[in-house]
């Protein structure tokens, strides 16, 4: 937290308590002064006694706390007791006024917000591990935070809706995720949330407001240009503005699903492979039937409807559009009406169609449309837009062929880009490959690992991510191949349950599915898919020199300086 925010909280407290404090100080000062002036009882010689400032301050100090030690340093005179009685009632009024002001301040939203911001900033400042800054804790943000938590990453959340921040605090994450109820579009808020922290690994803008996401993209580009920024955008103007500021990753869920649909029409196996590799950890992907070719009906020509229409027409398929307010566009066949009604569906030729797309922004209307359409044509291939994750039970009960959930699409893309950077170039290669190659790879992977979403991770062979391999290749003139590393550090050294998907080497073209006999070099970047246990075993091999030696030779070398010294002496003695 910056010094300005901290001092503003202090000044807010002082400003609210200014008048009560002045009243208390005035009452105390007048009481002490009066007690020093009021004559006391005469002493043994008959001289009038008066209290010193020290004794007057001491007396009123313990009297204000109602401790009541009595009259000291001597019994008071009648005049002093009268003055003390008056001062006691004055102090009671002053303290009541002060306490009431404190309670009112504790209920003030501005003060509570200032304290909340200060506590949040302190939490972020104390983080000593890498984290991602998530702006927006809606359905997408919730999915991403859950996935990041399962992957062992921390997240710092900014959310404008106080109810959603409260929901985050109720989640059972393995690690605390600091959250602040504030506008993510303000640069000061992003600074407080750790945008410029050296532990921040990336920024994810997921709010439902394109202008707020644009503000986050601009702030990230100007304040932390080295950080990857992933921003959601649903309008073309926002996408263009983000691109003009150099935002690297702009995710439009509708366009992304349009790409998925086009890929499913062109190469179904590549689509399922992409879906399987980018799924959320802990979920299971089910293989859909392939989209048929023929006549399609689309209901709802909004942002998503336009993308889907273009994707279907680019594949050479005829599309009839049902919309309540169809524009004048002779390039398409239009039917004015509502897709939930039988009349509009029949006018669009639903009985002769092979597929239907329910693309409106209302989940109930979309379900009603496809249910009615299936009654008229049970063979229909259905593409169903699901706007709210909370309606999953209804959509699962219907069992559509394709389900568009914008929050899941955005979360899949964000996780793939942030946690596994090498996955993006591999998926690009998958999109360009022919369907037979993708089908062969998909069968090979799912035969080994099933349809549960696998662990997908990348490794760079350098001193930071693979210190044991780095030291071995730097100190010895030996060579290593992939097969040498991909063994379990246990008895038998069985092959790890993972498959290398991509090898990137500076100066060479990308190598898809590198052979196990491929020689590896320092600086190589590798992408793997497999079991989570394989990822942990490989990480242990890459970081621990003793584990690496065991994996390569089968010899269990001693650990620790003392045991290594004793082993070296034993070898030297045996050699003599």
Which two three-digit tokens encode residue 324? 């309540």
pLDDT, position 502: 92
- Strands 319-323, 333-336: pairing is parallel
Interatomic CA distance for residues 435 and 423, integer angstroms: 19
**Under DSSP, is residue 153 helix (H, G, I), strand (E, B) or coil?**
coil
- Asked if residue 73 has a cis previous peptide bond (ω within 30° of 0), the answer is yes
Q: What is the pLDDT of residues 164-184, one digit of tens each?
A: 888 888 888 888 899 999 899
> Stretch 458-462: mean pLDDT, rounded?
90
pLDDT band at 214 (very low <50, low <70, confident <90, very high): very high
pLDDT above 70: percentage of residues in the chain? 93
More confident residue, 475 or 355: 355
More confident residue, 2 or 22: 22
> Stretch 64-79: mean pLDDT, rounded?
79
pLDDT band at 1 (very low <50, low <70, confident <90, very high): very low
pLDDT, position 237: 84
> Stretch 187-193: mean pLDDT, rounded?
91
Interatomic CA distance for residues 487 and 107, integer angstroms: 61
Interatomic CA distance for residues 545 and 548, integer angstroms: 5
pLDDT, position 525: 92
DSSP classification of residue 284: B
Which two three-digit tokens encode residue 488? 């379990």
> Stretch 201-206: mean pLDDT, rounded?
91
- Residue 289: pLDDT over 70: yes
pLDDT band at 326 (very low <50, low <70, confident <90, very high): confident
Residues β-bridged to residue 230: 204, 249
- Residue 560: pLDDT over 70: no
More confident residue, 416 or 306: 306
DSSP classification of residue 291: P
Q: What is the pLDDT of residues 396-430, one digit of tens each?
A: 788 788 887 878 778 877 877 777 888 888 888 88
Residues 6+ apart with CB under 8 A from 527: 420, 422, 423, 426, 456, 457, 458, 500, 501, 502, 503
- Residue 2: pLDDT over 60: no
> Stretch 538-566: mean pLDDT, rounded?
74
Q: What is the pLDDT of residues 489-532, one digit of tens each?
A: 887 778 898 999 999 998 888 899 998 888 888 899 999 999 98
Interatomic CA distance for residues 420 and 455, integer angstroms: 10
**Under DSSP, is residue 559 helix (H, G, I), strand (E, B) or coil?**
coil
> Stretch 200-206: mean pLDDT, rounded?
91
Q: What is the pLDDT of residues 311-321, one digit of tens each?
A: 888 888 899 99
pTM of the predicted model as reported, rounded to 2 decimal places: 0.69
DSSP classification of residue 390: G
């Amino acid at each position: 937290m910056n010094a300005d925010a901290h001092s503003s909280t202090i000044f807010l407290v002082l400003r609210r308590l200014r008048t009560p404090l002045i009243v208390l100080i005035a009452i105390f000062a007048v009481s002490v002064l009066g007690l020093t002036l009021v004559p006391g009882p005469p002493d043994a010689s008959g001289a009038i006694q008066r209290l010193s400032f020290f004794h007057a301050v001491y007396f009123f100090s313990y009297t204000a706390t109602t401790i009541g030690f009595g009259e000291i340093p001597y019994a008071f005179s009648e005049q002093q007791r009268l003055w003390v009685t008056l001062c006691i009632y004055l102090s009671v009024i002053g303290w009541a006024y002060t306490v009431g002001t404190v309670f009112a301040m504790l209920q003030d939203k501005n003060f509570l917000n200032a304290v909340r911001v200060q506590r949040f900033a302190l939490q972020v400042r104390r983080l000593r591990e890498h984290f991602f800054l998530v702006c927006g804790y809606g359905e997408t943000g919730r999915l991403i935070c859950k996935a990041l938590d399962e992957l062992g990453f921390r997240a710092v959340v900014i959310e404008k809706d106080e109810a959603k921040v409260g929901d985050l605090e109720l989640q059972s994450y393995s690690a605390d995720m600091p959250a602040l109820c504030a506008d993510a579009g303000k640069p000061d808020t992003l600074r407080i949330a750790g945008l410029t922290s050296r532990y921040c690994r990336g920024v994810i803008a997921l709010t439902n407001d394109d202008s707020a996401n644009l503000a986050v993209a601009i702030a990230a580009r100007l304040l932390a240009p080295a950080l990857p920024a992933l921003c959601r955008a649903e309008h073309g103007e926002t996408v263009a503005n983000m691109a003009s500021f150099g935002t690297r990753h702009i995710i439009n869920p509708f366009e992304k699903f349009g790409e998925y649909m086009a890929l499913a029409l062109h190469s179904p196996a590549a689509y399922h492979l992409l879906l399987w590799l980018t799924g959320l950890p802990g979920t299971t992907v089910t293989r859909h039937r392939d989209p048929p070719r023929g006549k399609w009906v689309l209901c709802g020509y909004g942002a998503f409807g336009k993308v889907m229409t273009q994707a279907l027409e680019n594949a050479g398929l005829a599309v009839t559009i049902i919309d309540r307010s169809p524009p004048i566009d002779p390039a398409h066949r239009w039917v004015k009406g509502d897709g939930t009604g039988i009349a509009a569906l029949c006018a669009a030729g639903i009985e002769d169609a092979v597929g239907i797309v329910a693309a409106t922004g209302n989940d109930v209307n979309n379900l009603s449309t496809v249910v009615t359409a299936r009654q008229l044509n049970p063979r229909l291939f259905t593409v169903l837009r699901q706007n709210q994750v909370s309606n999953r039970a209804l959509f699962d009960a219907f069992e559509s062929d394709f389900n568009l959930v914008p929050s899941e699409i955005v979360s899949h893309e964000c996780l793939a880009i942030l946690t596994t950077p090498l996955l993006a170039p591999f998926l690009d290669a998958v999109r360009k490959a022919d369907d037979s190659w993708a089908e062969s790879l998909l069968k090979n992977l799912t035969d080994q690992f099933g349809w549960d979403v696998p662990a997908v991770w990348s490794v760079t062979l350098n001193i930071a991510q693979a210190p044991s391999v780095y030291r071995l290749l730097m100190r010895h003139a030996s060579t290593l191949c992939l097969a040498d590393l991909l063994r379990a550090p246990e008895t038998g050294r069985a092959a790890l349950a993972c498959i290398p998907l991509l090898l990137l080497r500076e100066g060479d073209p990308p190598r898809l599915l590198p052979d196990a006999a491929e020689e590896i070099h320092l600086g190589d970047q590798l992408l793997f898919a497999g079991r989570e246990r394989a990822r942990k075993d490989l990480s242990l091999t890459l970081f621990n020199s003793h584990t690496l030696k065991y994996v390569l030779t089968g010899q269990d070398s001693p650990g620790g300086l003392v045991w290594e010294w004793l082993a070296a002496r034993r070898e030297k003695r045996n050699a003599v």
